[in-house]
Amino acid sequence: MVKHVILWTLKDEYNTARKTEIKRRIKEGLESLAGQIPGLVKITVHTNGLETSNADLMLDASFDSFEHLKGYSIHPAHVAVADGIVRPYTASRVCLDFKV
């Protein structure tokens, strides 16, 4: 099993209401990938961080293998969500992939 964890911050130019909407759309888009990508076991996006957080969203995904994670990164459904819903709105991205 491989875990894929990403933390994003949204661009500062958005007000609170806009950030809430962007986070909702990112969560909906990424979680909709469940069942579409081979080897993707579980995918969850957390959007309600506590006030002590310094990131706006967290992706927590599990894959059967590292090869499946690599396949996810280029899968057309994932690329469409990443390019259309995530990347245009995020200022920073930090990723940690690891075996469990």
Specify the pLDDT at position 56: 97
Confidence of residue 13 (pLDDT cuts 50, 70, 90): very high
Q: If we measure between CA atoms, which residue out of 37, 99, 92 comes closest to residue 68?
A: 37
Q: Report residue 92's pLDDT band, with 50, 70 and 90 as the boundaries.
A: very high
- Report yes or no: 99 and 2 within 8 Å, Cβ to Cβ: yes
Residues in contact with 56: Cβ distance below 8 Å, sequence separation at least 6, in sequence order: 8, 9, 10, 19, 23, 47, 49
The chain-wide mean pLDDT, for the chain, equals 97
Tell me which H or E stretch contains 69: helix 66-74
Q: What is the pLDDT of residue 3?
A: 98
Residue 36 pLDDT level (bands cut at 50, 70, 90): very high
